[in-house]
Amino acid sequence: MALRNKNKLKKELGLLDIIAISTGSMISAGFFLLPGIAAQQAGPSVFLAYFFAAFLIMPAMFSMAELSTATPKAGGGYFFIDRALGPLFGTIGGVGNYLAVVLKTAFALVGIGAYAALFIDIPIKLTAIIFGLVFMITNILGVRKASGIQKIFVFMLLIILVFFLAEGVREIFFSTSRAQYLRNFSPFLPQGFEGLMATTGLVFVSYLGLTQIASMAEEIKNPERNIPLGLILSLVITTFIYVLGVFVMVGVIPPTELVDDLAPASSAASRVFTLLSPRIGTLLIVVAAASAFASTGNAGLMTASRFPLAMARDRLFPEVFSRLGRFNTPVVSVVVTTALLMLIILCVSESNIARLASSFLLLIFIMINASVIVMRKSKIEAYDPGYSSPLYPWMQIIGIISSFFLIIYLGWGPGLFTMAVTGLAATWYWYYARSHTRREGAIYHWYALLGQREHKPLESELLNILKEKGLREGDPFGEMIVRASITDLNNRRISFNSLISDIAKTFTHEIKGVDQEKLIREFLDVTAIDPAMVIPRVSILYGTVANIKEPVLHIVLSGRGVRKPVVKGEITAEDNIRVFFFMLNRADEPKQQLRLLSRLMDIVERDGFVDIISSISNPREIKEYLLHNDRYVTLHLREGTKQDEFIDKSLREIKLPTDVLVAMVQRKNQIFTPRGDTVLREDDIITIIGEPRGIKTLFDTYIHSESPEE
């Protein structure tokens, strides 16, 4: 267990962290540096380019949300592409995404130096290097410290920008210079629609922050809710600020000045902050720019370092990149990424970074949209996203086609860069990674439907990811355990096939309409996920039934064990099984069945599971051991304790937290599931299950508060 968790990242990021990282990494160069450069092609319509870029990135955003909630693992876009299209495309996607984030991060660090130089006489690149080293240290110390700094940066940035937008709108529409400002919007499309679309491709990199959240999915709490919600809110906030902010810049800065302005936000501030002095307004924007560039640099280094980590885990990069340091962060990856940032800052010009990063980012988005199509078409049972992209597959097809067209509009230079990086990544895969990995993507499962080969271990990997994700809200795992039947064979000798037949017959008697022979075949059937469930002395067998409302579980314990054939990979053997789980679920809930199975796997992998459960003779205690986590509590109703307020009352009369329920009652040697009119008696032992908050309230009230004498 310790070895397995050694390189596992902690889940420390909540919804606010996601919004801060994503928004902070998007609002930087795209707002404070790019508008003037972009206006050279689009003219006054440049603010529409930001709107179109946000609209065209939506397919990739929805695809990333689906893939992230299905496989919340470090590496984001790389991991999705690799598992869907295979390690060759995964290497290309990982290297390209990594370089795109590193390039933008380097540009942000240079931006800090450029804006700082307006007030402090210090070399731009020296400032950039100093900040890069500071962010390296914060990222090594831990993601919570890094994300805490991130929220401070973003909070400062948003306050100043909201003030700037309000002042800008007032100045353009309600000041005495209104007519002059509106003339700055003509001619609206100096280079026509083609110039607008080329600019859309140019500013596409401004929304790179959306990909950075996917790369940190493994560290996000409740990813199935927080990732899609965080991405959508971040895109809405960022698009609003970009479109309205660039609109203000176009309105207050004459066109001839805007196209040559490398600090348009500062120039606009000196014109719109009429309630303040121009110097104070400019100072506010410089502070906002510094916060934006700092947040982008911090978040960029944080997320870029996760790409080598994820690729090293898959043996596409050397193993040293996957090692976590004292603070549970990928130290080697952070240090190497920082060194690459320094090299770019010192040796590379900033002028073409936006085009180059945008071009490869568009190629990444093509592969991400294709990955969703492949994952769904592969029919892999363990692919269980908590969020599904709307309008599938048309959303993904539109995203693929639009990205191709934007790459074309960007011109030959960025296209050649994309081809060069693709070639280098493919060469690295061919001469290094191919010999270190034997893995194929979900696309082979799609091929398998056409009679081609598939990669079986991918099913097991996705099932293990399901286990890490845990149960989804509403999954009736606790209720299934409470209702479970338990049979103790003691030292009775029985063959595996006879046991299967006996259990199938039991289910046939309990559930109307069950075909016993069909059930036996399902229990004996070997599926692609079975190798992941091979655990010594434990067997989990499962099937589906059309006419049941809730999952059913039967647990069998054997003191002497039952000999069962075991197959894992190409190895066939026998295992002496001491604990059997037979689970039936509804035929129309295959994903829920996998989540329940993955939770059972998580339980049986506890240290000493077989010995502990075999030593328990009381059925209630067995079920409590299986439920053991922060979602249940047991109360013994005795006179003279806090629990005596339950005695001689029906469940309807008892006030409990709204998110818990009494699932099981033990009265002497009888164990039963209570109803609303069940009256509790002295010495009853009640098991309550529910949400962690309600369970903690009960624990603090009825157990923790008891004195030692009680």
pLDDT digits (tens, 9 = 90+) for 585-600: 988 888 899 889 988 9
In this structure, how many other beta carbons lie within 10 angstroms of the beta carbon of residue 700?
Answer: 10
Q: If you classify domain 2-311+320-435 with CATH, what class do you get? A: mainly alpha
pLDDT at 267 over 50: yes
Q: Which residue has the higher pLDDT, 331 or 78?
A: 331
pLDDT at 248 over 90: yes
Evaluate the omega torsion of the peptide bond into residue 187 and state whether it is cis, within 30 degrees of 0.
Answer: yes
Q: List, by residue range, all CATH 3.40.930.10 domains of the chain.
A: 471-623
Give residue 321's pLDDT band: very low, low, confident or very high (50, 70, 90).
Answer: confident
Give the per-residue pLDDT at 75: 59
**Residues in Cβ contact with 402 at an 8 Å cutoff, skipping those fewer than 6 apart:** 56, 59
Give the per-residue pLDDT at 640: 84
Instruction: Give the pLDDT confidence of 371-389 residue by residue, as tens digits.
Output: 999 888 887 777 888 899 9
Instruction: Give the pLDDT confidence of 431-444 residue by residue, as tens digits.
Output: 887 777 765 555 55
**C-alpha–C-alpha distance, residues 297 and 153, integer Å:** 11
Q: List, by residue range, all CATH 3.30.70.1450 domains of the chain.
A: 629-704
Q: List, by residue range, all CATH 1.20.1740.10 domains of the chain.
A: 2-311+320-435
DSSP structure string for 480-537: HHHH-EEEE-TT----HHHHHHHHHHHHHHHSTT--HHHHHHHHH---TTGGGG-BTT
Q: Report CA dihedral (70, 73, 74, 79) to the nearest 10 degrees.
A: -60
CA distances from 224 to 116, 216, 238, 393 (A): 40, 13, 22, 21
The whole-angstrom distance between residue 50's C-alpha and the CA centroid of its chain comes to: 26
Main-chain phi, psi angles of 441, to 5 degrees: -90, 180
| Top-confidence range, 73-77, 302-306, 495-499, 664-668 | 495-499
Give the per-residue pLDDT at 707: 41
Which single residue is written with the structure tokens 């928004």?
23
CA distances from 371 to 10, 418, 495 (A): 26, 19, 45
Q: Which residue has the higher pLDDT, 507 or 72?
A: 507
Residues 103 and 344: beta-carbon distance below 8 Å: yes
pLDDT at 3 over 50: no
Give the per-residue pLDDT at 439: 59
The answer as to CATH 3.40.930.10 being correct for domain 471-623 is yes
**Residues in Cβ contact with 342 at an 8 Å cutoff, skipping those fewer than 6 apart:** 129, 132
pLDDT at 297 over 60: yes
* Mean of pLDDT values over 484-505: 93
Topology adopted by domain 629-704: Alpha-Beta Plaits (3.30.70)
Give the per-residue pLDDT at 572: 61
Give the per-residue pLDDT at 215: 65
Query: Would you give the DSSP letter of residue 471?
Result: P
pLDDT at 314 over 80: no
Which single residue is written with the structure tokens 């003191």?
559
Give the per-residue pLDDT at 390: 93
Residues 264 and 36: beta-carbon distance below 8 Å: yes
Q: Which amino acid is it at 183?
A: R
Residues 52 and 283: beta-carbon distance below 8 Å: no
DSSP structure string for 18-64: HHHHHHHHHSSHHHHTHHHHHHHHHGGGHHHHHHHHHHHHHHHHHHH
In this structure, how many other beta carbons lie within 10 angstroms of the beta carbon of residue 166?
Answer: 13
